[in-house]
Amino acid sequence: MRSCAPASTAGSSPAREPASPGLRAQFPALAETDAVYLDSASTTQKPLPVIHAVRGYHESRTANAGRGSYPWASRLTAEIEDVRARMARFVGAESDEIVFTGGATAGLNAVTLAWGLTNLGDGDEILYSPRDHASNVYPWLHLRQLLSGFGRTVRLVPYRVNAMGEADIDDIAAKITPRTRLITVGHLHHVFGALTTLEELRGHIDPRIALCFDCSQSGGHLPVDVAELHADFAVFAAHKMFGAPGTGVLYCRRQRHGELSPFLPGGNSAVTVDDSGLRAGAMPRLLEGGTHNIAGILALGAALRVLNEFGMDAVAAHNRALTIALIAGLRRVRGLEFTPGPAYAPCETGYGIVSFTLAGISATDLGFVLSEFGFLVRAGAHCVPDGEPDADSVRVSTHIYNTFDEIDRFTECVATIAEEVG
């Protein structure tokens, strides 16, 4: 197989080049390799302030937060609450609506256990997309199974996805019934790169229906305002927004707090005990039993500072421009087929995620070949539940540190591979 075009022969217009050397220098992993990282939907590269935050916690004045009155512990307690307040501002929430979790998956499971177990009755319904990330499918299946053990039958009602990769609003509207209790959606689809806000349904559905958004891909990639989404629940993955793995955020709208029960009771959780058992206390500690991932939360705080310095509007605009350039370059490749997403939109749009297949070669093999040429992409099923269409593709995902030159080189490489396998 012929080699793909090297950087020196795949130039792009300087006017399209927004990533300054100083910006890329903040991400040391990018300075240590010639590879082109195009897998930010899986996890983002880590800037120096995040790396320093993790190292600093373990190297200097390590203590447990919320446990001691000595200065090391009380300082960490204050720092965690500061990160909570800044995360709240970042997504348009209040501090008591922000719960720290072990990740977005843990956050979605918290919704099922802290809200679903106690609020769903026999015959109630949840609307969901089987083509969402498994973390926004399997917890609801698990909840249905748990409730069946208590004699309650909960229906999971699937809705369609349209050609642009968005949740089909007309299909959702048609499937809402008086028994619908929750609608869950991927805010930015992890394979299709399409945005779903449910804004077309506002004012047309019963306000008692809870809205849950998986913001794993949108958080840190574009501006997110949970109030504008009218979200009751929303989850975020810190490692996809420059933070460390093992840390996430669950947003719980204040109006839903009275419906929540502790799902992880233990040390530090806000519960009281009386003759009837456990009684729920105040949020957010109600859902934060056990020791926090202190290093991870401090890293999230550092990540928020970096994102705010870049500006989320600028990050979103950069990803949109890269997406448009990527789609334009791949359209010229014979045998390439896009999955649902911005490639089928009536106007130029995009949020940093594009997926496709190439005739003559499997997605897994194509991903391997691309890695041999230095392009790091995700290939395979992308955590889509088994049996769903479009579960095998190559996904390209960008962030602020990617350049137009990298996109040009990537599309030329795919074109070269297409000629070889065609």
Just list the catalytic residues: 383
Q: Tokens at residue 340, please?
A: 């649902």
C-alpha distances out from residue 35 to 47, 375, 391, Å: 17, 6, 26
Identify which of 397, 355, 399 has the alpha carbon closest to the alpha carbon of residue 376: 397
Read off φ and ψ for residue 276, nearest 5 degrees: -90, -5
Q: Which position has the token pair 């790396």?
A: 51
Conformational region of residue 402, where left means phi above 0, alpha means psi within -120 to 50, and beta covers everything else: beta
Its sign, for the CA torsion 41, 42, 48, 54, is positive
Whether 38 and 397 have beta carbons less than 8 Å apart is answered as yes
Residue spans of alpha helices (H) in 60-210: 71-91, 104-110, 117-119, 138-148, 169-175
> Which residues have a Cβ under 8 Å from the Cβ of 288 and sit 6 or more positions away?
99, 100, 264, 268, 269, 270
Strand partners, 336: 358
**The amino acid at 332:** R
Exposure string of 128-162, with b = 16+ CB inside 10 Å and e = fewer, is bbbbbbbbbbbbbeebbeebeeeeeebeeeebebb
Q: Which position has the token pair 């040390």?
A: 267
- State the Cα–Cα distance between residues 236 and 247, nearest whole angstrom: 9
Q: In three state form, how does the secondary structure of 165-205 look? A: CCECHHHHHHHCCCCEEEEEEECECCCCCCECCCHHHCCCC
